[in-house]
């Protein structure tokens, strides 16, 4: 197996390689191997590493041997090795076991989601099912952000830990589907979760295929029913109204119309928080944490004189009823929106359109028919509440196939509203709309040209906490374009660093997102480190009081900064103690500890650091490697210690266990 030998020969893979003597497959009482299941290309067994740590061992069976499987095996090894996510099953190592390649991952003791649902462990659409859906969406977002397409997502490949939090497994088939494999989908049952474009053209798919599969998983979680192809619509009728629009969007036959995993995760988080996806804050925003229209605002709007044309919005009808009445409602709503003599009616019409744009599948129809009237209201400075509602409606209409038309018609008016310091809601909604439009790559340059100064002004306005979050979200999308990064850094870096010191964790998260994108530009790493390093270290020191995503994102950004040779020492001097504290604290989030270990190892191996700093890091790893009370920490540290010893570092300090 020359390809396996080549893989072994790479020095950067050495620390992942295990030996067969390290791994023992567990047996049942009858002496048979403890098999956990069978994946697409191999069998999975319960095993122990060095007789202590329970793991899952995926053994590629002999009947699957051959060149094709070797390619899949090596692809899975590479993807698992490079994919570090709290929502994807953790890769621990690989080995040659009885002549076959085997992959070792963490053991998910809760089993697979399909079995848990049909065994009554997970019931249809309760808080637990919603959290599982969020976990899966976050996992897909992590995979897709690394340009990994899973292509075999299903409830059988979603594994649960004892607390029933979910992780995605079987990443190995990613982008490796062939026509031969697709021909076997019907016999394995997998085709019930498979996007139609995969069945028709398996070699020309993208991340949207995973979103179709995610929609089927959502359908299972929402109804508890088996996902039978051809029966989706009938099953969907049994799903709660709050989740139906997202399921329908994910399972749209047109891949371009499906939401991204990031958008789906945010909508599910909004549902979990009990928020209303109204005209102010849509689920498809660029913000990780976002608010919803308050009950006081909703009640106030309902108390005021309602026009008969928009009364259906306030009657509490289900989302499905709103969608079914959309065709009939649009003409009177547009008529009311154009009635310049009825200011209150225009406000309510814009609010109704915002809700319709979120709930209704055919957003393109709404945008085409209402865009001119909404832009007219957006420009009406005499009706500030109407302008704010119009911006919210445009934000909810945004999406693929609509953004360019919305930007052509509304960008100048949105920028003008963003600059209106007398209209707080309008500024917030304008920033949210620009965030949505900036998700389109070709719109980022014109948006930056028109709106960057106003976005930075909003970012600096301490009286606008929600507006600052949306401004940072918009800047995060703009910063994804490398040609804009220097300009954004020059304009916004001081304000972004200021946000890192805020008590508003949603703002902190968004600011870190912008800084991470900017740090991808090697020319910006030093100015970012000079300005932001103390604030980021402060976040690490206070990690226990923060949501785990913040220290995780902070460490990932520090990794980018530390990749600059001139910044390794400043990062090590400033952050090593805090990173060691996170690594050695069993109460720290698992993903945070993993990232801390990875960054510390990178720093410890740097030749240009002072011996004292290196020794401090090495001693911490050595202590943790022998800590029997902390299984995760011990496992993380042992791998690092072995690697450092193999490379000849710190042999005078400790001996690998």
For β-strands 23-25 and 166-168, DSSP reports them as unpaired
Question: What residues contact residue 472 under an 8 Å CB cut-off, 6+ apart?
Answer: 459, 496, 499, 507, 510, 511, 513, 514
Indicate the DSSP class of residue 251: T
Compute mean pLDDT per 10 residues along the chain, 657 residues long, and list them: 54 64 85 77 83 84 48 63 82 80 86 83 85 94 86 90 86 49 44 71 74 93 74 72 91 87 92 53 32 30 32 33 54 84 86 68 71 91 91 83 89 96 93 90 93 96 91 92 93 95 86 90 93 94 84 87 86 85 79 78 64 60 67 67 57 45
In this predicted structure, what is the pLDDT of residue 177?
40
Q: Where in the chain are all domains bearing CATH 1.10.510.10?
A: 113-272
Helix (H, G, I), strand (E, B) or coil at 340: coil
Q: Where are the alpha helices (DSSP H) in 439-481?
A: 444-459, 465-478
In this predicted structure, what is the pLDDT of residue 448?
95
User: CA nearest 153: which of 138, 136, 141?
Assistant: 136
Q: Where in the chain are all domains bearing CATH 3.30.200.20?
A: 2-106
Whole-number Cα distances in Å, 285 to 206, 433, 579, 596: 21, 9, 32, 29
Residue 483's Cβ-count burial label (10 Å; 0-12, 13-18, 19+) is exposed
Q: Where in the chain are all domains bearing CATH 1.25.10.10?
A: 275-478, 501-657
- Using a cut of 0.75, tell me whether the model's pTM lies above it: no
Q: Where are the alpha helices (DSSP H) in 158-224?
A: 179-183, 185-188, 196-200, 207-223
In this predicted structure, what is the pLDDT of residue 422?
93
In this predicted structure, what is the pLDDT of residue 503?
81
Angle (CA) 554 531 620, round 5°:
45
Ligand-binding site membership of 81 (annotated): no
Please identify, in words, the CATH class of the domain defined by 113-272: mainly alpha
Contact at 8 Å (CB) between 623 and 605? no
Q: Which residue has the tokens 């930075």?
A: 456
In this predicted structure, what is the pLDDT of residue 101?
77
Helix (H) or strand (E) holding 296: helix 295-303
State the angle between helix axes of 611-625 and 590-604 in degrees (0 to 180), rounded to the nearest 10: 140
2-106 in CATH: which number? 3.30.200.20
In this predicted structure, what is the pLDDT of residue 217?
95
Query: What is the spatial distance between Cα 14 and Cα 22, in angstroms, rounded to a whole number?
Result: 15
Query: What is the spatial distance between Cα 433 and Cα 418, in angstroms, rounded to a whole number?
Result: 10
501-657 in CATH: which number? 1.25.10.10
Whole-number Cα distances in Å, 369 to 195, 333, 495, 600, 643: 31, 10, 39, 56, 63
Q: Where are the alpha helices (DSSP H) in 343-502?
A: 343-359, 363-378, 384-397, 403-418, 424-437, 444-459, 465-478, 482-500
In this predicted structure, what is the pLDDT of residue 549?
77
In this predicted structure, what is the pLDDT of residue 117?
85
Contact at 8 Å (CB) between 591 and 85? yes
In 10 A of CB 577, how many CB atoms?
17
Helix (H, G, I), strand (E, B) or coil at 597: helix
Query: What is the spatial distance between Cα 410 and Cα 395, in angstroms, rounded to a whole number?
Result: 11
What would the two tokens of residue 49 be?
């590493």
In this predicted structure, what is the pLDDT of residue 644?
59
In this predicted structure, what is the pLDDT of residue 259?
94
Angle (CA) 52 57 59, round 5°:
145
275-478 in CATH: which number? 1.25.10.10
Helix (H) or strand (E) holding 545: none
């Amino acid at each position: 197996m020359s390809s396996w030998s080549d893989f072994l020969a790479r020095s950067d893979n050495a620390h992942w390689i295990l030996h067969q003597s390290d791994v023992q497959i567990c047996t049942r009482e009858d002496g048979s191997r403890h098999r956990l299941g069978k994946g697409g290309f191999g069998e999975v067994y319960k095993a122990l590493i060095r007789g202590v740590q329970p793991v899952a061992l995926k053994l590629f069976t002999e009947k699957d041997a051959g060149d094709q499987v070797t390619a899949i095996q090596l692809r899975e090894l590479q993807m698992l090795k490079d994919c570090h996510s709290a929502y994807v099953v953790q890769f621990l190592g690989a080995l040659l076991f009885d002549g076959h390649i085997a992959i070792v991952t963490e053991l998910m003791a809760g089993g697979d989601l399909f079995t848990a649902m049909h065994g009554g462990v997970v019931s249809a659409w309760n808080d637990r099912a919603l959290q599982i859906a969020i976990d899966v969406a976050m996992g897909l977002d992590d995979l897709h952000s690394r340009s990994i397409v899973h292509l075999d997502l299903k409830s059988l490949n979603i594994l649960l830990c004892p607390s029933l939090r979910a992780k995605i497994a079987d990443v190995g088939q990613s982008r490796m589907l062939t026509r031969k494999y697709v021909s076997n989908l019907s016999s394995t049952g997998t085709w019930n979760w498979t996007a139609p474009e995969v069945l028709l053209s398996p070699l020309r798919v993208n991340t949207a295929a995973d979103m179709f599969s995610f929609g089927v998983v959502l359908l299972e979680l929402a109804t508890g029913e088996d996902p039978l192809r051809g029966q989706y619509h009938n099953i969907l009728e049994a799903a709660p109204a709050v989740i139906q629009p997202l399921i329908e969007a994910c399972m749209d036959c047109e891949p371009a119309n499906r939401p991204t995993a990031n958008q789906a995760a945010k909508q599910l988080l909004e549902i979990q928080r009990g928020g209303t996806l109204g005209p102010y804050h849509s689920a498809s925003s660029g913000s990780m944490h976002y608010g919803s229209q308050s009950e006081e605002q909703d009640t106030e709007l309902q108390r005021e004189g309602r026009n008969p044309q928009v009364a259906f919005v306030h009657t509490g009808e289900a989302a499905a009823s709103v969608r079914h009445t959309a065709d009939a409602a649009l003409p009177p709503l547009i008529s009311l929106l154009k009635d310049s003599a009825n200011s209150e009616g225009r406000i309510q019409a814009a609010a109704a359109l915002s809700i319709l744009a979120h709930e209704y599948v055919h957003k393109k129809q709404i945008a085409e028919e209402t865009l001119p009237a909404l832009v007219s209201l957006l420009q009406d400075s005499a009706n500030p509440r109407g302008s704010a509602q119009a911006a919210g409606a445009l934000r909810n209409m945004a999406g693929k196939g609509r953004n360019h038309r919305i930007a052509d018609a509304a960008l100048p008016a949105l920028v003008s509203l963003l600059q209106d310091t007398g209209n707080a809601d309008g500024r917030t909604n304008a920033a949210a709309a620009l965030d949505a439009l900036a998700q389109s790559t070709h719109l980022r340059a014109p948006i930056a040209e028109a709106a960057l100064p106003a976005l930075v002004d909003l970012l600096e306005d301490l009286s606008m906490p929600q507006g600052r979050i949306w401004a940072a979200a918009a800047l995060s999308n703009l910063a994804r374009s490398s040609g804009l990064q220097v300009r954004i850094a020059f304009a916004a870096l001081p304000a972004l660093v200021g946000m890192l010191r805020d008590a508003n964790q949603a703002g902190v998260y968004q600011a870190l997102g912008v800084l991470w994108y900017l740090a991808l530009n090697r020319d910006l790493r030093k100015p970012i480190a000079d300005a932001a390093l103390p604030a980021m270290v402060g976040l690490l020191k206070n990690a226990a009081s923060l949501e785990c995503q913040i220290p995780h994102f902070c460490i990932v950004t520090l990794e980018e900064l530390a990749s600059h040779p001139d910044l390794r020492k400043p990062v090590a001097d400033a952050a090593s103690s805090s990173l060691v504290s996170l690594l050695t604290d069993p109460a720290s989030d698992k993903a945070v500890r993993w990232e801390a270990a990875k960054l510390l190892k990178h720093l410890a191996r740097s030749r240009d650091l002072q011996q004292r700093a290196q020794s401090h890091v090495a001693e911490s790893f050595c202590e943790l490697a022998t800590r029997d009370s902390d299984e995760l920490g011990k496992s993380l540290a042992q791998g690092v210690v072995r690697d450092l010893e193999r490379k000849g570092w710190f042999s005078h300090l400790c001996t690998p266990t």
